[in-house]
Chain A
Amino acid sequence: MIPFAPDFGAAALVSIFLIPFALAGMALLNTGLVRSRNAAHVMMSSLCVIGIAAVAYFVCGFAWQGVTGAPGYALRIGGKSWDWIADQPLFWRGIDWNGSPASIVALMQTLSVALAAMIALGAAAERWRLGAVCASSAVLAGLIYPVFAHWVWGGGWLAALGVNYGLGHGFVDAGGSATIQAVGGLSALAVVWLLGSRRGKYTPDGLPTAIPGHNAVFVLFGCLLLWIGWLGLNSAGALLFSGVDPRRLPLIAVNTTLSAGAAALATAVVTHIRFGKPDASLSANGWVAGLAAGSGACAFVPPAAAILIGLVAGIVAPLAIENLELRLGIDDPGGAISVHAIGGLWGVIAVGMFGRFPVGVFYTPAAATVTEVSSSGQWLAQLIGVATLLGCILPALYGANWLLNRWLLYRSTPDGERQGLDLYELGAGAYPEFMTHTDEFLQR
């Protein structure tokens, strides 16, 4: 069991209460990046995802994620224990709701799993049916996210790589670069592969056409909300899952801000160089990429390293968005795959590259013996986490969504895309007093 500081509960709760700002920011960002005829559908989908994810996590997600030290199923391989899934009662039975660590973990994860599930909305917007959105979110929140979160945050085999095989502190992901961002981003990639591109996105020659979002203010204000939410996400994650000393919360907040700011500035410069002017929506993507990348190492790096992590994320994000669209035919209107999957994976690697774990980083009870663990194997532990995301979680996400697609049919009809999903699925537009004229369905 991770030893917690005596006052960790209050600090963790205050941090957790900031996380809904991230949900609101994500919803607003995704809404602003789609055309006006799909705006209400994206916002409605966001609400549905939060509801479905919370219920799925309540029904079975927490039971399979568990908390560190709680019972789980483990395989014995080479004399070492490989804990692969928790064994907690379904429906949150057995949780002591009087401020126990398990109750605080359950609260935080209910919000985190909703954030992870919302990421795919940005990539699959304008063609993903509402019923399919709900089904995919339920599978992610009830099965795939909890299993991976158990491996990383519930005392599973990835977290135990340090104890079992001497690989640093095991796989470290303080704020969720892997558990939330990369899992959500890879889910977006799986769904976009199954859905294909939006009608009118590519010409008969295969060249992508620009389909701008309808509200840059939503996008940029969403970024500000995401920043507030991320301060809570990183702080709560570091306290609850890495056992970080609460006195490091100011460093976590500073690193979160610096990483996002550096990334947004880097993207603004990159887009200025490439297009002659800084691009607002791509800079917003850069901001979020900085947040996603900075999460993993937020408690373990000095501020200068956080800036470097953000700079790399801010340079890579717009280039990845461009190349995915141009060369690989991935139509991702929200940039979610580049921002969350690639940004998150970079955040995981950054822990191995920049993470420092001196005595005092982790809260240690006075009676405990303080020993400094070698961090030479940390690199390897982080790479094993990356391999697990790409070789286990991504195929699982693709397979689960492939099965659901056979049953539910993910993609809307051509008529639904032409009308916009607001009218087609919800029966009313987001802006009923506006008349929209578009020509993107004309043959070019």
Chain B
Amino acid sequence: MKIAGWLLSVAGWLLVLLAVILLRAEAPRGAFVLAGLGVQVLGLALVFRAHPAPRGGRS
């Protein structure tokens, strides 16, 4: 799950970069940038979940 989270996070960034490179109009470019950020948030949520809450002093 941790690796999937990191891959999603990087994929979101690449989506943002591709939006900047490939799209010219402001609205679709902005939408894809936001979509990329959404993918990153999902990825980071997975990474957070992959680091479980500690029990009894040591995670």
Contact = CB atoms under 8 A, between A and B. Distances in A.
A196 B59 contact: yes
A380 B6 CA distance: 23
A391 interface: yes
A380 B14 CA distance: 15
B16 A384 contact: yes
- Give chain B's interface residue range (CB within 8 Å of chain A): 20 to 34
Contacts of A80: 21
Nearest to A399: B6
B33 A387 contact: yes
Contacts of A199: 57-58
Interface string B1-35: 00000100111111011001110001001100110
Contacts of B40: 387, 390-391
A398 to B, nearest CB: 7
Contact of A328 (B13, B36, B48): B48
Nearest to B59: A196
A161 interface: yes
Given A329-B51, A395-B6, A380 B37 contact: no
Given A193-B51, A384-B20, A390 B6 contact: no
Contacts of B22: 78
Contacts of B20: 161, 165, 167, 384
Contacts of B53: 202, 206, 327-329
Nearest to A395: B6
Nearest to A441: B57
Central interface residue in A78, A196, A380, A391, by most chain B CB within 10 Å? A391
Nearest to A197: B54
A172 B30 CA distance: 18
Interface string A187-200: 00000010011111
A386 B9 CA distance: 12
Contact of A201 (B10, B12, B36, B54): B54
Interface of B is mostly: helix
Contacts of B52: 329
Contacts of A206: 53-55
A203 B12 contact: no
A367 interface: no
B12 A380 contact: no
Central interface residue in A384, A390, A398, by most chain B CB within 10 Å? A390
Nearest to B44: A390
A387 B13 contact: yes
Contact of A391 (B9, B21, B55): B9
A78 B21 contact: yes
A304 interface: no
A77 interface: yes
B51 A205 contact: no
A276 B6 CA distance: 40
A147 to B, nearest CB: 14
13 contacts: A77-B21, A197-B58, A197-B59, A206-B55, A328-B53, A376-B26, A383-B33, A384-B16, A387-B12, A387-B33, A387-B36, A390-B9, A391-B40
A-B pairs, 8 with minimum CB distance:
A391-B13, A329-B53, A196-B59, A204-B56, A387-B16, A199-B57, A197-B54, A202-B54
